[in-house]
Amino acid sequence: MANLVKTGISGLDAMLYGGVPEGNQVIIAGGPGAGKTLLSFEYLYRSAKMGVTSVFFALEETPERVLANAKAAFSEFKDIDALIKSKKLIIDGEDPTAVLHGGSESGTSQYEFGKIVSDIESVVVSSGAKRIVIDSLSVIDMLVSDQVVYRRSMLALVNNLRRLGVTAFLTAEMVTPERRELRFKMEYFVFDDIVIMYEKGEEDKRMLAMEVIKTRGSKHSFVTTPYEITPGGVSILSAEEMGL
């Protein structure tokens, strides 16, 4: 049994039967507004509070906007700035406009992807980070349009993260937020773990629910579990945590 890394999000740790196997790469997938980025940010925030150096690497938004959104959503996280100042929580990233513009105009998408991987490695090595979030894989999907090249790129990314020895969350967009219409994209089979964040129900009665599809090297819950985003963090009402 692998060593388990606690996410610090109690309901999620219960669904993962204690946490994520150390060194695994976890896909956090969902539609717009499901809270993928916020869940991933909280994972790093909780890790930083445990004394583990953690890096949020933004590809879709600027680091400043990621931080502003997290503070707005999690107003009870009063020590975010202190964790950043102590360098336990590091928010870095690339300008998504510059990355996509460079790849599309000059035909150097592979170069741009290589630069992203190199920059991620640089910040991880220089900081000694053991936890990382990459938000999101959708930018790489747009950058590398050829599916064969894209699959190779994902394999290269996974291998690089494993070599660095980090436990990573990587966000990804789903084509649909509905569970009944779920289709697995290619990259879901490359990574170790998959967590899906759904929106269920009708338009006037939407409910957020989460499901662990797989974890490599550990057991996990098979129950689709409701959750909500609160000022104090993502609240996941797992059956395991409630002893059901």
pLDDT digits (tens, 9 = 90+) for 155-209: 899 999 999 999 999 999 886 655 555 666 666 788 999 999 988 766 666 789 9
201, 224 Cβ separation under 8 angstroms: no
pLDDT beyond 90 at 97: no
pLDDT beyond 60 at 104: no
User: Domain for residue 165, yes or no?
Assistant: yes
Give 213's pLDDT tier (boundaries 50, 70, 90).
Answer: very high
Q: What is the pLDDT of residue 105?
A: 47
Q: What is the pLDDT of residue 180?
A: 59
Using a pLDDT cut of 70, give the percent of the chain over it: 86
Q: What is the pLDDT of residue 2?
A: 73
Both tokens of 113, joined, read 């992807």
pTM of the model: 0.91
User: Domain for residue 190, yes or no?
Assistant: yes
User: Domain for residue 242, yes or no?
Assistant: no
Alpha helices in the chain (DSSP H): 10-15, 36-49, 63-73, 80-85, 96-106, 109-127, 137-143, 147-164
Q: Which tens digits make up the pLDDT trace of 23-65? A: 999 999 998 889 999 999 999 999 999 999 999 999 999 999 9
Q: Which range is least confidently modeled, 104-118, 130-144, 215-229?
A: 104-118
Give 106's pLDDT tier (boundaries 50, 70, 90).
Answer: very low
Q: What is the mean pLDDT of residues 221-226?
A: 92
User: Domain for residue 243, yes or no?
Assistant: no
Q: What is the pLDDT of residue 108?
A: 62
Using a pLDDT cut of 90, give the percent of the chain over it: 64
User: Domain for residue 244, yes or no?
Assistant: no
23, 166 Cβ separation under 8 angstroms: yes
Say which residue, 196 or 112, is predicted with more confidence. Answer: 196
User: Domain for residue 158, yes or no?
Assistant: yes
Distances (CA, A) of 62 to 16, 17, 35, 98, 211: 30, 34, 17, 12, 29
What's the structural domain count of the chain? 1
User: Domain for residue 120, yes or no?
Assistant: yes
Domain range spanning residue 47? 4-236
Distances (CA, A) of 44 to 200, 228, 241: 27, 18, 21
CATH number where 204 lies: 3.40.50.300
- Mean pLDDT of all residues in the chain? 88
